[in-house]
Amino acid sequence: MLLITTLRRLSMANVKPSIVFVLGGPGSGKGTQCAKIIKEFGYVHLSAGDLLRTERDIPGSRYGDLIEKHIRNGTIVPVEITCNLLHAAMNNSRKDRFLIDGFPRNQDNLEGWNREMAAKVNLQFVLFFDCNEQVCIDRCLKRGSSGSGRSDDNEESLKKRFITYFKDTLPIVDHYQKQNLVRKIDANSSEDTVFEEVKKCFKEVMYSTLHMLWKQSVVTGWKTTSWQQIHKNSSSTFLKKTW
């Protein structure tokens, strides 16, 4: 146990915040799954959409009208606004691991992030929720009729949001796929079934990071137990508590 805690500290010696981008169509379950991930694995959840809605609702915000126009039209707010909100939320949290939900959503988002933030963080992977369009639409309409209060949970906005998703967001997923960074999850089934897949994915990434750190510690001559011993000790309860 002590050993792995030490390994983790070593990993943070060179600290850059770790980021997982969470992408998928409107209603694919990004927010729902992020809520589960933070409980199990201790990340901070930052939803670009939520940050924009909060900014829109601040009385006198100079961006309020612009944000609302984009939300209703299903188009994407200029990256300078979204990236600043994300950056501020990361700084304010004082934590070092973030799920960034609903970003980057188009080429402008990607370029702005690469300009301002990419070098300051460690992008772990992109979690991509692959979900049938009609399943997503039904979920969002149900969310709207159950009182979400969202101005875009209606058929007209959803049509536009899906046009943006197919035209602008999927190419961003492809971009990261080419770098082998995408972990695709089938998001059509129940919340719990989807989460089982999500958990597998996070555990794989964590073990492979631990393994890399363990190999480094061996290279630098640090006395360690065998990898098998570490693997045996790092149960999922352990990962939940310490990772």
Ligand X SMILES: Nc1ncnc2c1ncn2[C@@H]1O[C@H](COP(=O)(O)OP(=O)(O)OP(=O)(O)O)[C@@H](O)[C@H]1O
Ligand Y SMILES: Nc1ccn([C@H]2C[C@H](O)[C@@H](COP(=O)(O)O)O2)c(=O)n1
105 binds, among ligand X, ligand Y, none (CB under 5 to 8 A by kind): ligand Y
Between 29 and 102, name the residue whose CB sits nearer to ligand Y: 102
32 binds, among ligand X, ligand Y, none (CB under 5 to 8 A by kind): ligand X
Residue 129 beta carbon to ligand X: minimum distance, rounded to whole angstroms: 7
- Binding-site size for ligand Y (CB under 6 A) equals 16
79 to 106, 210, 218: CA distances (angstroms): 9, 34, 43
- The residues, any chain, with a CB within 8 Å of residue 131's CB and separated by 6 or more, are 24, 25, 27, 28, 29, 186, 187, 188
Between 36 and 203, name the residue whose CB sits nearer to ligand Y: 36
Q: What angle do CA 140, 202, 189 make, to 5 degrees?
A: 35
Nearest in space to 148 (alpha carbons), one of 82, 35, 50, 51? 50
| Feature table: binding site for a ribonucleoside 5'-phosphate | 53, 75-77, 102-105, 150, 161
Which of 7, 19, 45, 49 lies at the binding interface for ligand Y (CB under 6 A)? 49
Q: Which range of residues in 33-41, 74-82, 181-189, 213-221 is near ligand Y by CB under 6 A?
A: 74-82
22 binds, among ligand Y, ligand X, none (CB under 5 to 8 A by kind): none
Strand order in the sheet with 18-24: 44-47, 97-101, 18-24, 122-130, 182-186
Residue 158 beta carbon to ligand X: minimum distance, rounded to whole angstroms: 9
Between 90 and 152, name the residue whose CB sits nearer to ligand Y: 152
144 binds, among ligand Y, ligand X, none (CB under 5 to 8 A by kind): none
Between 31 and 42, name the residue whose CB sits nearer to ligand X: 31
Nearest in space to 215 (alpha carbons), one of 204, 193, 202, 231? 231
Rg, Å, the chain Cα set: 19
Q: Which two tokens stand for residue 59?
A: 């009385």
Binding of ligand X by 28 (CB under 6 A): yes
Residue 120 beta carbon to ligand Y: minimum distance, rounded to whole angstroms: 18
DSSP assignment of 36-84 equals HHHHHH-PEEEEHHHHHHHHHTSTT-TTHHHHHHHHHHT----HHHHHH
Binding of ligand Y by 29 (CB under 6 A): no
Calpha distance 51→83 (Å, rounded)? 10
Q: Which residues bind ligand X (CB under 6 A)?
A: 24, 26-32, 49, 102, 139-140, 143, 190-191, 194
